Structure 1
Amino acid sequence: MPRISLLLVTALMLFCGVAYAGEAKILLEKGTFDFGEIFEGQKVEHTFRFQNAGDEPLLIDRVRSSCGCTVALLSSKIVAPGDVAELKTTFDSNRFGGAVVKTIYLYSNDPLQQVTELHLRGTVKREIVLNPARLDLATLAAGTVRQFDVRLINQSPRTIVLSSLQTTTSEVEAELSSKTLEPGQEAVLKVRVKPKTAGARLSGYVLLKTDSAYLTDLRLPVYGMIAPAKGP
């Protein structure tokens, strides 16, 4: 009986060895890249490397990213045993802010890991912060005038020049206290609102250009409902 049991165990081990032989295996060099802190509008580029640690060709069926802001380019869809492939990624931070995590998915013929996740993570800041970021005026009476101060704060390490101040509606006027912002400096954007037509919705923008390579435009939304003018 002991001899029969030993033969069964040996046969089982051989069977398992055959079952797991001839498989591809994806092995990541590093699955997460932390790009630290960047300014909105900057692009992050990083190359992920992975090896086929199996003994059959690794076939990459497709690559998918969590949003259109991240582009991934694969060096090869077929990776021979022992070979290394690269996945070049680019993240465009335009219109992002705060903590960001972007995921790229690799679909392959690795039987134990058919979907492999790669991550780009970090923090996106704005070079110039508007405080408040928008003017929600709720309800305004037609013919009245209201004025608001919006602070523009330069968070970048360089001097930024502002230009081309304009509004998209005649009901909104704007004036800037300074066109040059040194690092850490603030300017005040005085916004004057005079709604005209009762029962309509006021909606427009205050627009500014900057000489920044990353944040070329600033937009301050201004909106609210216009009520009938108050009586005497």
Structure 2
Amino acid sequence: MRPITVVLLALLGCLTALPALAEGPKMAVEKADFDFGQIFQGEKVEHTFRFQNAGDEPLVIDRVRSSCGCTAALLSTKIIAAGDVAELKATFDSARFSGAVVKTIYLYSNDPVQQVTELHMRGTVKQEIVMSPSRLDLQNLVVGASKEFAVTLSNQSKNPLALSGLQTTTPELTAVLSAEQIAPGGEVSITVRVTPKEGSGRLNGYVLLQTNSEHVPELRLPIYASVAPPASK
């Protein structure tokens, strides 16, 4: 066999070995699952998902939907030509979450085999400042009788945190802070005094505290209580 014939046969073999584009549009995601690891509550995570039209006809993205309003998604283009690559930029806002989370983004397309493609952002949201308890739900307080309750603030970060501007939203509540700074891994306490007044069977209010944390600039302690009239003499 002549050398030139051998070369031509080898080239032909390489060409026939190349993967052919699928018939019609076809969604092919580079990596559908993104693990962002561990972040502090209040941080935002951004990630770009890449996907290709592995078909031989244009892939059309009809719409994009997120599992909740905490996750925003921005698509680079809605029509992807055969063989082309597109991107979806996703942003997760962890402000209202703690613990393990999984957020899902749904891509609706004209792929006849897989009309809905799921993309996932997952990880763990850790609280920078842990308030314990996170709320006071008090029962059977008596008008005119004061009661005190202790709330602990723990610093879970690696930086000292400054506290300021302690206040309450109703005169029936007063609060005292044990220190204005929490060392990393340290704790401070808030002593809350509740003195119900006449005129209502329920007490609702908040203790508010400012911090220098960029993730949690304000702490809010909700307080709810049922109030009974004073005992008759």
TM-score, length-normalised on structure 1?
A: 0.89
Structure 1 partner of 2:185: 184
Structure 2 partner of 1:58: 59
Structure 2 partner of 1:79: 80
Structure 2 partner of 1:221: 222
Structure 1 partner of 2:48: 47
Structure 1 partner of 2:175: 174
TM-aligned CA distance change 1:118 to 1:159, over 3 Å = same
**C-alpha deviations, 1:100-148, integer Å up to 9, x for none?**
1111000001000000000111111111111101011112010111001
Amino acid across the alignment from 2:102: V
TM-score, length-normalised on structure 2?
A: 0.89
Q: Are residue 142 (structure 1) and residue 152 (structure 2) matched?
A: no
Q: State the distance in 2 between where 1:138 and 1:84 align.
A: 60
Q: State the distance in 1 between where 2:228 and 2:114 align.
A: 61
Structure 2 partner of 1:194: 195
What secondary structure, in the 3-state scheme, does the structure 2 residue paired with 1:44 have? strand
CA contact (8 A) 1:160 1:210 kept: yes
Q: State the distance in 2 between where 1:21 and 1:98 align.
A: 41
Q: State the distance in 1 between where 2:36 and 2:75 align.
A: 20
Structure 1, unpaired ranges of 5+: 1-19
Q: State the distance in 2 between where 1:44 and 1:208 align.
A: 26
The share of aligned pairs that are identical, in percent, is 63
Q: State the distance in 2 between where 1:194 and 1:151 align.
A: 21
Q: Are residue 91 (structure 1) and residue 92 (structure 2) matched?
A: yes
Q: State the distance in 2 between where 1:148 and 1:202 align.
A: 15
Extract structure 1 runs of 4+ deviating beyond 4 A: none
User: Across the two proteins, how many residue pairs are aligned to each other?
Assistant: 213
Amino acid across the alignment from 1:117: E
Amino acid across the alignment from 2:45: V
**C-alpha deviations, 1:19-42, integer Å up to 9, x for none?**
x96411100111110111111110
